[in-house]
Amino acid sequence: MGKELRNAGITGVGSYVPEKVLTNHDLEKIVDTSDEWIRSRTGIEERRVADDDTATSDLAYEAAKVALDDAGLDAEDLDLIIVATITPDMQFPATACLLQDKLNAEGAAAFDLGAGCSGFVYALSAATQFVETGAYDNVLIVGAETLSKIVNWEDRNTCVLFGDGAGAAVVQPVESGGVLSNVLGADGSGGELLQLPAGGSRQPTCLDTVENNLHYIEMEGNSVFKFAVRIMGKAALRALKEADLDREDVDFFIPHQANTRIIDAAAKRLKLDSDDVFVNLNKYGNTSAASIPIALAEAIEAGEINKGDNIVLVGFGAGLTWAASVIKWS
């Protein structure tokens, strides 16, 4: 007879963004763009930028401390730390291991997960299964990015989009509710649509890769936009189906914060009112794996999520990847 699965839920959240604000008007002085152009096409007004000496693990640490405090959990009681990021401190060791050391979480296993902007929901899916099966009781998941360090500040098509930040959550057993479903997907044939070409084994770092700007984000914006509009609503609907819920059962929607037009399209697919959709893209830009947990933490702090609410998280990103989760808030 199989072991009965436990309910896994989020018991604490936290977020952190750097102090430095870079507005659209600031960008007008750097590249050929305008505040009106950026706002009308993306919805972004400003973003946060980390200092030169601030790494992804530093942002992750600040968000993690808040989440642990919110959950009433000591770092020494953590069983596992998962960091979702595409901007690790270095190729290795894992940023999660560096975070484990900063937190003095000596008993915790730790690994990184790279799924682009879908990364936090991928991490939530993994954490849920560790907790549901009884393998671990206390899992910390963090989405953290310092994208300002990998954007080409001379490329107006990408540098206006991204920002830095971190969001964290603690996943533990809960009596009822919690994570009801997780849906993950990928289409590797679209890998070249959003990539950082050099620095890996395909194109190791050399003088040519540096001179040709191959260590910066490259994106085919129109193709990624079309993919996102198609997949966001589809993934959310599939996650709802797996949770035995309908669109009418959704109380609150937290999408990846990439573009207001993409968010609007997904909300329309779910037939949601704007009051039921959380948007903070205007303040932070696209923070990749950090975007959903930052939004979740801010929504909770603002009192927009209540016990028993059905929450839908959905993201898309490099890979190409997509992911959606349905949570009954407990």
Which residues are annotated as catalytic? Answer: 117, 256, 286
- Within 8 A by CB and 6+ apart from 88, the residues are 56, 94, 95, 112
How far, in Å, CA of 51 to CA of 49, rounded?
Answer: 7
What DSSP element (H or E) covers 119? helix 119-132
Three-class SS of residue 323? Answer: strand
Q: Answer whether 108's CB lies under 8 Å from 82's CB.
A: no
Beta bridge partners of 311: 252, 327
How far, in Å, CA of 124 to CA of 113, rounded?
Answer: 11
DSSP 14: E
DSSP 213: T
Three-class SS of residue 52? Answer: coil
How far, in Å, CA of 14 to CA of 103, rounded?
Answer: 15
Provide the residue type at 65 as one letter. Answer: K
DSSP 43: -
How far, in Å, CA of 115 to CA of 194, rounded?
Answer: 12
- Residues recorded for the chain: 330
Residue 36 in tokens: 């009106």
Residue 262 in tokens: 């993409």
Q: Answer whether 165's CB lies under 8 Å from 281's CB.
A: no
Q: Answer whether 309's CB lies under 8 Å from 251's CB.
A: yes
Residue 115 in tokens: 């799924």
What DSSP element (H or E) covers 100? helix 95-103
